[in-house]
Structures are given as C-alpha cells and as structure tokens.
Amino acid sequence: MTDKTMSSEEVGRRLFPRQGFSSEVAEGDLERFLGLVATELAPWQVEQVTRPPVVHHRQEALLAVHWHPEFVPMSLIRQRLKAAFPNIQEALIIPTQHNQMMSWGGYSGVEVDCYAKKFKSKVQLLLHFTDEKVQEAHVLKSMLELTAKYRSSQLFDFMDTIIKPREERINQAAMATGADAEVVAFTRAQVTRIQTLLDENWPKVPAISVKNKLLKNWFDTLRPEVGDLAIGRVQAYLQAVKQIVKAHFPLSYFYRASEVIEEARNLGGGVVIPHPEEFWPILLAGYDVDGIETWNPQSQRYTEFLISVVNDQNRKNAATRRKQLIFMGDDCHMGEKTKARELQDEAKASREIGYQPAWDNLDIRKKLVIHGVSRRSVIREYRERLKG
C-alpha cells in the first residue's frame, strides 16, 4: 500500500495536518532537527541526569559492565551513580558504547557488532580492558571505527526504503501494521525532510547521532501538534520498516566474532556474551569468552536456565577451560534520560547503571549461592582476569 492510492485532497482531510504531507522543510524543522542531534545538555537535562528517581540504599556492590554513556558526560553519570547508590563498598564499572571504546576509572570497554559465520547471524560482544592494554590498540580501534561507520549506514538504507521507496518492503510493513495510505504518505514526507536536513547540516551532526532512532525521535516531537493516536500509528509502521531493513542488511561486512575475540585476547582483554536470548546459537559456538550475561532488562525469561547452562559447562570443562562467569547487565542507555519525560520510552528510561534486581531474586539467589556466585565474587574474579 502506498500514498499513490490517495489524492492530496483525501490525504489532507484525514488524520494528519495537511501541511505535514509536504516534503519541503518547513519553519521550525531546522530547530527541531538540531535539537534532536545535539549532544550538549540544557540545564533541565542535567537535572534529570544527575537526580535518579530511585535510591538503592541497601546495595553495597555494583557490577556494571554493559551500559551506554552515549553523549552524556561521564562527570554527570558519576553524580547520578553516587546519588543512586550512596553506600557502595565495591564496584567494577566499565562503559560499553556501541562500537566505540570508552573509559571509566582505569578500565575501557565497548560493545561490538559482529558476524557469527557459524550460524550466519549478527551478534554482539562486550569487550573489557584495563586502560593501559588498549593505549596502542590501533588494529582494534580501526576495526571499531569501520564497524561504527557501517552500522550507521543502516540509517540511510532505512530512509531510502521509505523515500524512494522500496515498494515490496513498504507494502510488507503496511500490511503488518495496518498502516493506510495516509500513514505511509505522512511518514514519507517527514522522512524526506529529515534526509534533507541531515544532508544540509552534515558537518554539524555528531557521528553518535546518526542512528535509526533519529527517525523515531523526530516523530515523537510531533506528538503535541499531531496527536498520540496518529504518531502511534506512524511509529508502529516505522518500526516494521526498520525491522525489514535490518533483516536485509548485509552482515558479511561486519568482522567475524572469532576475529573480534582473537584481537581482544591478543590485547589481554575480557569477552562477555550479552543478552544471549537474542542469539541462542552463540551458546553452542564454543567461543573463547569469560562469561555470559544471564539477565538484562530485555532478557529475563531464561535467567535461571542460563545460570544452569554456565554451571554445567564449567563442571564439564573444568580440566580444559577457564571457568565462565555469570554476568547480569542493565543495558542502560543514558541518552534516554535526557529526553523530556513525556517523550521517554518508559521501559528504557527505567534502566539504571548497575541496577540488576535478578541478583536479589530469592529463587535466582538460591541457584547462585550453591555455586558460590555473587556480585562481589564476579567483580573480584573478573577484575583479576583483566589485570592479569
């Protein structure tokens, strides 16, 4: 289904404002765009970042090796952590920006997109290092830079699919979400504006802002003038298009997972598999990793099973392989906390660096205690590995 089935008069009479169907950049669009790609924080955003809504007074150990600073300054994140966890006695905190190495307190980390050739799928790996081990890591840093550029190119395919358009993909997304010609036409016009603004202001756009979420965030800012119902329909359609684009995105241009692991090991780094529920075969691939993330906000259903898997593997391979550790990750994206509260994704905004309630779940703790595992034990053992 495309907007060709509707006349401009029919389109203008329906759910969206008539002016929204023009692909020409309108008054206020530039300000809207620059606000979305900006990385400097306004005072109200600083206030939101540094004042967490919940304080965890009783948590005394903090393990945070899967979280994303995005464009939020580390100094503000430190303030937030101090406010959220005032009684921490022991901690291991390592940022894992997507395809970009970042540091905190003597440690560096990154979450890498890569290709698992064994089962022909994209996977992600968390890499962790002491800072001194990656000061001269030119090969790894070049690999990350190329991966980041390739990953960001998905946004251009996303926009082109909507604008040019790729009819088979558009029809598939429209049918899956019930999007009518009006939704398709409005989305196309607005994405055309975004593409124009991106091209015209390219030198001003930070690389970290060139992401798929730019489109989602643009439409969210239109809610006050267009309405939640209309934008909700657009977002459903947009999400369907995005998933189709991702499904067709060539994976062979990513570095292979084995190559990434080999480079990390050459540098003396640690490797952790995050949210394995999304990449089940990776558990069977036999990769040389330090541990598996058994819980995060997106992967909670199989936590107890994954803990059993790790413990069984350790028991079977005790004589031949280093013990795998049990990790839990908060997968916090700090950029979400800079949005106006009414525009935040509630589930994502609720994530906090170092907040992993599964550690304190009684059923899960029972399994962990049997094997002598706790936040503190993982912090100490992983720290020793990274320093070794």
- Which amino acid, residue 186? F
Burial zone of 344 (CB within 10 Å; 0-12 exposed, 13-18 middle, 19+ buried) = middle
Query: Does residue 302 lie in a domain region?
Result: yes
pLDDT value at position 4?
Answer: 44
pLDDT value at position 8?
Answer: 45
Q: In this structure, are 32 and 60 located in the same domain?
A: no
Q: Which of 220, 248, 276 is the last residue of a domain?
A: 248
Q: Which of 181, 143, 148, 145 is nearest to 165 (CA)?
A: 181
pLDDT value at position 2?
Answer: 45
User: Do residues 202 and 178 lie in contact, with contact meaning Cβ atoms separated by under 8 Å?
Assistant: no
Query: Does residue 20 lie in a domain region?
Result: yes
pLDDT value at position 302?
Answer: 87
Query: Does residue 144 lie in a domain region?
Result: no
Helix (H, G, I), strand (E, B) or coil at 324: coil
Q: In this structure, are 160 and 29 located in the same domain?
A: yes
Burial zone of 224 (CB within 10 Å; 0-12 exposed, 13-18 middle, 19+ buried) = exposed
Q: In this structure, are 288 and 340 located in the same domain?
A: yes
Q: What are the pLDDT digits (tens) for 61-93?
A: 999 999 999 999 999 999 999 999 999 999 999
Report how many domains make up the chain.
2
Q: In this structure, are 177 and 313 located in the same domain?
A: no
Query: Does residue 92 lie in a domain region?
Result: yes
Query: Does residue 256 lie in a domain region?
Result: no
∠ CA 344-345-350, rounded to 5°: 95
Q: Which domain holds residue 25?
A: 3-37+152-248
Residues of the chain with pLDDT under 70: 1-13, 284
Q: In this structure, are 162 and 86 located in the same domain?
A: no
Q: Please give the Cα distance from 136 to 132 (Å, whole number).
A: 8
Question: If you average pLDDT over every residue of the chain, what do you get?
Answer: 92
Q: Which of 212, 27, 200 is nearest to 113 (CA)?
A: 212
Q: In this structure, are 61 and 173 located in the same domain?
A: no
Q: In this structure, are 62 and 201 located in the same domain?
A: no
Query: Does residue 236 lie in a domain region?
Result: yes
Query: Does residue 48 lie in a domain region?
Result: no
Q: Token match 């980390």: residue?
A: 109
CB count in 10 Å sphere of residue 309: 18
pTM: 0.90
pLDDT value at position 358?
Answer: 95
Q: Which of 276, 198, 251, 185 is nearest to 32 (CA)?
A: 198
Q: In this structure, are 375 and 273 located in the same domain?
A: yes
Q: In this structure, are 23 and 160 located in the same domain?
A: yes
Q: What are the pLDDT digits (tens) for 232-254?
A: 999 999 999 999 999 999 988 89
pLDDT value at position 282?
Answer: 75
DSSP letter assigned to residue 256: B
Q: In this structure, are 128 and 92 located in the same domain?
A: yes
User: Do residues 185 and 9 lie in contact, with contact meaning Cβ atoms separated by under 8 Å?
Assistant: no
Q: Which of 216, 248, 280 is the last residue of a domain?
A: 248
pLDDT value at position 118?
Answer: 81
Q: Which of 219, 248, 277 is the last residue of a domain?
A: 248
Helix (H) or strand (E) holding 109: strand 107-116
Query: Does residue 51 lie in a domain region?
Result: no
Helices (H), 68-128: 74-84
Q: In this structure, are 32 and 158 located in the same domain?
A: yes
Q: In this structure, are 156 and 223 located in the same domain?
A: yes
